[in-house]
Amino acid sequence: MRHPAQAVVLAFLLADVVGTALLMLPPARTGAGGADPLTALFTSTSAVCVTGLSTVDTPHYWSTFGQLVILALIQVGGFGIMTLASLLTIVVWRRLGLRSRLTAAAETKALGPGEVRRVLKGVLLITVSCELVVAACLTLRFALGYDEGWGRASYLGAFHAVSAFNNAGFALYSDNLVGFVGDPWICMPIALAVIAGGLGFPVWLEVLRHRRRWRQWSLHTTMTVGATAVLLVLGTVLITVGEWNNPATLGSMDAPGRVLAGFFHAVMPRTAGFNSIDYGDVAGGTLLITCILMFIGGGSAGTAGGIKVTTFVLLFWAILAEVRGERDVEAHGRRIDERAVRQALTVALLSVGAVSTATVVLTELTEHALDAIFFEVVSAFATVGLSTGITADLPGPAQLVLVALMFLGRLGPVTLVSALALRERGHLYRLPEGRPLIG
Amino acid sequence: MRHPAQAVVLAFLLADVVGTALLMLPPARTGAGGADPLTALFTSTSAVCVTGLSTVDTPHYWSTFGQLVILALIQVGGFGIMTLASLLTIVVWRRLGLRSRLTAAAETKALGPGEVRRVLKGVLLITVSCELVVAACLTLRFALGYDEGWGRASYLGAFHAVSAFNNAGFALYSDNLVGFVGDPWICMPIALAVIAGGLGFPVWLEVLRHRRRWRQWSLHTTMTVGATAVLLVLGTVLITVGEWNNPATLGSMDAPGRVLAGFFHAVMPRTAGFNSIDYGDVAGGTLLITCILMFIGGGSAGTAGGIKVTTFVLLFWAILAEVRGERDVEAHGRRIDERAVRQALTVALLSVGAVSTATVVLTELTEHALDAIFFEVVSAFATVGLSTGITADLPGPAQLVLVALMFLGRLGPVTLVSALALRERGHLYRLPEGRPLIG
Ligand SMILES: [K+]
Ligand SMILES: [K+]
């Protein structure tokens, strides 16, 4: 294998194929016969890439067995991306000679079995504890607040807890979570699980280790936690204000309900994809703000998608440094390697390229309005799963484009960055400097 | 004055105000009374920023006097941006200690009156010769091919030649140039004038000086000419193929006519803004490709707008270098200063920010579809002037947003880059290096 990132891609391809095969089995469907290959492939990819887009009505199309397959794919996909991205980071940082806080260990170049075990154990511990707590909260609420039997309530609680922590956004209701828009006992545990999963394993590891000493956090953790807080506050304000008087969304609720729903929809684009209002009804401004939040996404080496907050913040800092006339990009008492800035630039602009290309292709393949198509494309690429409702109407080739986008969006940024970082090399000689006019 | 770029902004503001006042005079209108302030401001800004967007029907709303005011504003705006941007470049490069080929002259820090005169003379020479040749071609065609009297034909020829060379896109026909879609004797001189004006003064100066020795071209000229050629070929192919069977645009023409129209609409988004097909009828893909071409724009220190081709190419090279694992960004035997890359990044991302913000604001202010609004916003920011036809329907506040965008788009990139370049400074000490995970 020329590059460890190839192993990650192969692992996800394998899980996707196995998932597609399982979902094509007749017992996976409620109706007669097995699901057709495209539906199975789309659902399997959406689950294993923890996206949540769906061309069929999850609770009615899939049997309980089918739903359990989806749940397993979500868990495998979420666990897989957290562990594999973390291991990839260790490999890359070690080759670069950087001290990663993901591992206390040795100076060897290769990844030892002990380290792999430690990462697996850590991710497992965080995943299981978060999911258990959230599942318990949800189960109680489903049983006590909605008169579900304890068996059904536990199933609902577990499914939505797993779907939330892994940022998958699959729900067992035809309208996703629209029925629970005003219920903080459902919305808050789910939102917190989403945020927790989206921070990423490296952040969790460090926050747990340095519990009271946030001043000792690494640059990565400071950036991720800070940017997450800023994006959540900003998103909540913009979405709550933008939809305040929209009768089809927040307009009909009381003030606390509007703020709850506003917060919920600031959390969900980054990049869980649950929804408690209908994105077919929101204002144009909300749609665009949601697109921006989706594109930025969540933390690295977690269950969130998008270009990742650190990529975004790094570019922001680079611009700030430039406007201030400073030679170095600096933040939190650190000078940022110019290579990291160029890698962030590469990830961001290639992502813009992928989204633009897919948007152009989909406008050719379908008759839907540009805003709906663009929203769908960003949602697929950032593995969010929000939709204005056009997913099921898309023709086969358009669905295949989304399948490719989900895969690319899930694995593209992380494998690209590690590939770029591993190729870093110097020069034997430097050319004379040249400078074009710009602007 | 703290910064020479402020003088540029003040000069354009002054021209805009004078133009607005002149257009409000009753003789400027065909109808009774003077134009209302908003219409006059919009038209004056659109003319002086050589954009070409219009809220009224130019040939019917404005009298010949009004049209001559518009023509004068276009010429002042185009001449102004070429000379002022060139002078700004000389100032900046000299302070940076770079040898600019814009001036053979001295090592003094200040700009001498002799240099200013040389630049003015050079721009004047190129402008007048290009406009005279194109006006002559058009006049002949209008007189011989369309039975216009020689007086009227010269007026039409001169107006469209000035409008073309200055990349303004104003035409004296209600449907712009749709009536001439199949006429190469009108379309080709206009397209060539647009390309000539869009290359920029520094390129012209160098091409004329080193006529036969293109291997000795500076990095800036090589980049501008190369990227212009690539964008024109690529644009022609994509637009011709995309519209080939669209009965509302190219579908009804013969093959050479389709290629001519495809070429014409690959030239016009960069950033002249004439149109011979109706952008309200083109396919979604064509609209997006046109948006991308508009955003990239033309050459620096010319009459074109957008972020400029050199900005775009620089970012492309930075990504290429990163993907190849190279420490330096290199092209055409030159190493590009990392500061130039960061300045390109700053211009591009701040421009994306301006366009996104304006799009969100306009979706709140109007009921038009997102694709039409986005197209209009990019067109205004890149001073292109193409429209799907919504300009006249926009409410007052939305028109003011476009006025602000045209001004920002015309002066923002060039003044931003010179401000950034003049602030370049080193550091007394460097912080320890830090590196977040990205992707
Ligand atoms: K998701
Ligand atoms: K223009």
Task: Report the sign of the C-alpha dihedral through residues A339, A344, A349, A354, in that order.
Answer: positive
User: In chain B, what residues touch A224 (CB-CB under 8 Å)?
Assistant: 436
Residue bearing tokens 């962030």: A344
Q: What H or E segment, with its residue span, contains residue A433?
A: strand A433-434
**What does the H/E/C string look like for B340-397?**
HHHHHHHHHHHHHHHHHHHHHHHHHHCCCCHHHHHHHHHHHHCCCCCCCCCHHHCCHH
In chain B, residues with a C-beta closer than 8 Å to the C-beta of A220 are: 435-437
Mean pLDDT of A2-19: 86
What average pLDDT does this structure show over A429-433? 65
Q: Does position A92 have pLDDT exceeding 90, yes or no?
A: no
A20 vs B425: which has the higher pLDDT: A20
Listed residue (A50, A131, A45, A127) closest to A83, CA to CA: A127
pLDDT category at A109 given cuts 50, 70, 90 is: low
pLDDT of A101 > 80? The answer is no
C-alpha to C-alpha distance for B40 and B255, rounded to whole angstroms? 42
pLDDT (mean) for A336-361: 87
Inspect the interface and report whether the beta carbons of B292 and A223 lie closer than 8 Å: no
Q: CA of B323 to nearest chain A CA: how many angstroms apart?
A: 6
Q: Is the pLDDT of residue A438 over 80?
A: no
**Residue A187 half-sphere exposure toward CB, CA atoms < 13 A:** 24
Set of chain B residues whose Cβ sits within 8 Å of the Cβ of A334? 431-434
Give me the pLDDT at residue B1, please.
45
User: Over 50: is that where the pLDDT of A1 sits?
Assistant: no
CA dist., res. B25 & res. B43, Å (int) = 13
pLDDT at residue B367, rounded to an integer = 85
- Per-residue b/e over A362-385, b at no fewer than 16 CB within 10 Å? bbebbebbbbbbbbbbbbbbbbbb
Beta strand A334-336 with A329-331 is antiparallel
Are A328 and B427 an interchain contact pair (Cβ–Cβ within 8 Å)?
yes
B327 contacts on A by Cβ (under 8 Å) = 339, 424-427
CA A86 to chain B, closest CA, distance in angstroms equals 10
Judged by average pLDDT, the poorest of A313-322, A350-359, B116-125, B411-420 is B411-420
Q: State how far residue B148 is from chain A, nearest Cα, in angstroms.
A: 41
Distance from CA of B190 to the nearest CA of A (A): 25
Q: How many CB pairs under 8 A join A and B?
A: 258
Please tell me the predicted confidence (pLDDT) of residue A140. Answer: 95
Contact criterion met (CB < 8 Å) for A310 and B414: no
Residue A36 φ/ψ region, left for φ over 0, alpha for ψ in the -120 to 50 degree band, beta for the rest = beta
Residues of chain A neighbouring B382 (CB-CB closer than 8 A): none
ipTM greater than 0.90: no
Q: What is the mean pLDDT of each run of 10 residues along chain B (439 residues)?
A: 75 94 94 90 95 92 94 94 88 70 54 82 93 95 92 94 94 91 92 94 83 75 92 94 89 89 93 90 87 93 92 89 81 80 87 89 86 92 93 93 93 81 64 65
Nearest to A371 by CA among B287, B246, B394, B240: B287
The closest CB to that of B431, out of A313, A330, A370, belongs to A330
Average pLDDT over residues A247-265: 90
Whether residues B328 and A427 touch (CB distance < 8 A) is answered with yes
- List CB contacts (< 8 A) between A336 and chain B: 433-436
B111 touches B87 (CB < 8 A): yes
The answer to whether the beta carbons of residues B380 and A316 sit under 8 Å apart is: no
- The answer on pLDDT for A411 being more than 80 is yes
H or E element at residue A296? helix A284-296
User: Which residues touch A384 (CB under 8 Å, ≥6 apart)?
Assistant: A51, A52, A169, A268, A269, A271, A272, A273, A294, A305, A306, A378
**Beta carbons of A302 and A199 less than 8 angstroms apart:** yes
Q: Which residues neighbour B122 within 8 Å (Cβ) at sequence distance 6 or greater? A: B201, B204, B205
Rounded to the nearest angstrom, the distance between the alpha carbon of A335 and the centre of ligand 1 is: 33
User: Which secondary-structure segment (H or E) carries B188?
Assistant: helix B184-199
CA dihedral A355, A357, A359, A365 (to 10 degrees): -140
User: Distance between CA atoms of B258 and B253, rounded to whole angstroms?
Assistant: 6
CB-CB under 8 Å, B341 with A323: no
Among candidates A405, A198, A363, A386, which has minimal Cα distance to A289?
A386
Question: How far does residue B382's CA lie from ligand 2's centre (Å)?
Answer: 8
**Peptide linkage before A271 cis (omega within 30 of 0):** yes
Judged by CB atoms closer than 8 Å, whether chains meet at A430 and B335 is answered as yes
Contact yes or no for B404/B430 (Cβ under 8 A): no
- One DSSP character per residue, B96-117 reads HT---TT------SSPPHHHHH
Q: Which two tokens stand for residue B240?
A: 């011709």
Nearest to B219 among A361, A363, A436 (CB): A436
> Which of A73-77, A222-226, A424-428 is predicted least confidently?
A424-428
Identify the CA nearest to A340 among candidates B438, B433, B330, B340.
B438
Distance CA B378, CA B208 (A): 33
CB atoms within 10 A of CB B273: 29
Task: Search chain B and give the residue with CA nearest A288.
Answer: B360
Q: Are B346 and A268 in contact (CB under 8 A)?
A: no
Helix (H) or strand (E) holding B330: strand B329-331
The pLDDT confidence band at residue A191, using thresholds 50, 70 and 90, is: very high
pLDDT, tens digit (0-9, with 9 covering 90-100), for A131-167: 999 999 999 999 999 989 999 999 999 999 999 999 9
- The DSSP symbol for A387 reads -
Residue among A327, A370, A425 minimizing CB distance to B284: A370
B360 Cα to the center of ligand 1, angstroms: 24
CA distance B53 to B274: 10
Average pLDDT, chain A: 87
The CA-atom distances, in angstroms, between B51 and each of A3, B164, B171, B271, B377 are: 50, 11, 12, 8, 12
Tokens of B334: 């030159």
Confidence band, pLDDT 50/70/90 cuts, at residue A172: very high
A336:B435 CB<8 A: yes
Q: Which residues of B touch A438 (CB under 8 A)?
A: 300, 308, 310-311, 314, 340, 343-344, 347, 413, 417
Give the model's pLDDT for residue B402.
95
Chain A's closest residue to B422, CA to CA, is A325
**Higher per-residue pLDDT: B109 or A52:** A52
Q: How many residues does chain A have?
A: 439
Please tell me which of the candidates A202, A340, A437 has its beta carbon nearest to residue B438.
A340
CB A254 within 8 A of CB A227: no
Q: What H or E segment, with its residue span, contains residue B228?
A: helix B219-243
Question: What pLDDT band is residue A2 in, cutting at 50, 70 and 90?
Answer: low
